[in-house]
């Protein structure tokens, strides 16, 4: 019986190595884009962080835009998954809304998705902008469902428009990031989220309910 070649020289080893290289490139680009933005991230910086050579890089991604699009999709999916994971074990709709506002975040680093909406090169390219817009649309849809459930249960006023509140909650968090980064202080972010929690309590109070939250914006 012929000896089986070691994994590193078998077709599976070569395939696995290729997949690893591609993933390393995407993850490196995603991290650098989060830190620096798309425009300020160079292919050389990606190669240095990923440890992948130039030949392999251009084999998988002939242009910076190709790599940037893959990284944008990666970052958007990571962000969506983190939102879902953090909220999946909660059942009370008001607790879910409060938890969204108090998720652990680093406002001085910014949002993986939101920072891309401030990059002129991303906004100017419909293909690059689409994953960003889609991620926010999916988040908004998640919140609309929760807000609708709270309204149906009589926990929020019947005349409250779920889509409007969902957009407001997303805008508060994203705006809090911008204020915190502008002042290099997380306090504006925490205060913005606290204000949104207080408004949510007022809305719930008019419907005879109170959000189940400790009322503090998490670090």
Does pLDDT of 175 surpass 80? yes
Residue 28 lies in a domain: no
Which pair of structure tokens corresponds to residue 190?
Answer: 């925490």
Does pLDDT of 6 surpass 50? no
Residue 215 lies in a domain: no
Structural domain including 148 reads: 64-206
Does pLDDT of 120 surpass 90? yes
Residue with tokens 């909220």: 87
Residue 30 lies in a domain: no
Residue 21 lies in a domain: no
Distance CA 14, CA 190 (A): 48
Secondary structure, 3-state, the chain: CCCCCCCCCCHHHHHHHHHHHHHHHHHHHHHHHHHHCCCCCCHHHHHHHHCCCHHHHHHHCCCHHHHHHHHHHHHHHHHHHHHHHHHCCCCCHHHHHHHHHCCCCCCCCCCCCHHHHHCHHHHCCHHHHHHHHHHHHHHHHHHHHHHHHHHHCCCCCCCCCHHHHHHHHHHHHHHHHHHHHHHCCCHHHHHHHHHHHHHHHHHHHHCCCCCCCCCCCCC
Q: Among positive and negative, which fits the CA dihedral 61, 32, 180, 165?
A: positive
Residue 156 lies in a domain: yes
Query: Which region, left, alpha or beta, applies to residue 215 given φ > 0 means left and ψ of -120 to 50 means alpha?
Result: left
| 144-157: average pLDDT | 96
| 94-119: average pLDDT | 94
- If one counts the domains in the chain, the total is 1
Cβ neighbours for 126, distance < 8 A, ≥ 6 positions apart? none
Query: What's residue 206's pLDDT?
Result: 83
Query: What's residue 18's pLDDT?
Result: 53
Q: Which domain CATH number covers 80? A: 1.10.357.10
Q: What is the pLDDT of residues 131-147, one digit of tens each?
A: 999 999 999 999 999 99
Does pLDDT of 182 surpass 90? yes
Does pLDDT of 1 surpass 80? no
Which of 200, 189, 167, 174 shows the shortest CA–CA distance to 92?
A: 200
Does pLDDT of 55 surpass 80? yes
Q: Indicate the pLDDT class of residue 173, thresholds 50, 70 and 90.
A: very high
Query: What's residue 205's pLDDT?
Result: 87
Rounded-to-10 torsion of CA 83, 134, 130, 35: -10
């Amino acid at each position: 019986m012929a000896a089986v070649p070691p994994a590193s020289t078998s077709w599976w080893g070569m395939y696995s190595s290729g997949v690893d290289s591609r993933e390393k490139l995407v993850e490196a680009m995603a991290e650098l884009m989060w830190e620096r933005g798309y425009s300020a991230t160079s292919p050389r910086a990606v190669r240095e962080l990923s440890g992948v050579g130039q030949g392999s890089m251009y084999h998988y991604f002939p242009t910076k835009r190709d790599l940037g699009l893959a990284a944008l999709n990666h970052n958007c999916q990571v962000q969506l998954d983190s939102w879902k994971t953090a909220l999946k074990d909660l059942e009370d709709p008001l607790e879910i809304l409060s938890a969204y506002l108090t998720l652990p975040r680093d406002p001085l680093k910014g949002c993986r998705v939101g920072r891309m909406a401030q990059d002129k090169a991303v906004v100017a390219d419909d293909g690059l902008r689409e994953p960003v817009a889609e991620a926010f649309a999916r988040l908004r849809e998640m919140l609309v469902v929760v807000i609708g459930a709270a309204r149906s249960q009589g926990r929020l006023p019947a005349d409250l428009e779920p889509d409007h509140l969902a957009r407001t909650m997303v805008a508060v968090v994203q705006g809090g990031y911008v204020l915190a980064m502008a002042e290099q202080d997380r306090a504006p972010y925490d205060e913005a989220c606290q204000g949104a929690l207080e408004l949510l309590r007022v809305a719930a109070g008019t419907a005879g309910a109170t959000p189940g939250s400790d009322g503090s914006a998490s670090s």
